[in-house]
Amino acid sequence: MIKNKTNKHPLEIEIDLSALSHDEYNRKVAILNQLLAPSSPPTPTPPKTEDVLARLKLQKLEDLKLQIMAQNPGLLGVPEKEK
């Protein structure tokens, strides 16, 4: 018999296994083990074209930003070398 232990959460249950025969007990334990076993991780989906393009654009912008900073150290507050 499975009954709700409290009215707070539906997953909190109390299971009385003492009244079951050995076969019924084993069957119930097998079902509980299946229910409590961790599920397999979801299969990763391939990235959408829009997502890939958006990431590529962001990467190009970051590369351009680094290039500009390298060519203009004054923007970073680094004094330029005197020639």
Per-residue model confidence as pLDDT tens for the chain (83 residues) = 455 455 555 556 666 667 778 888 888 888 877 777 777 776 777 888 889 999 999 999 999 988 888 888 787 777 777 66
What's the half-sphere exposure (Cβ side, CA atoms, 13 Å) at 10?
0
- pLDDT confidence of residue 47: 82
- pLDDT confidence of residue 17: 62
- pLDDT confidence of residue 64: 92
- In the chain, the amino acid numbered 82 is E
- pLDDT confidence of residue 69: 83
Q: What are the domain boundaries of the chain?
A: 2-36, 47-77
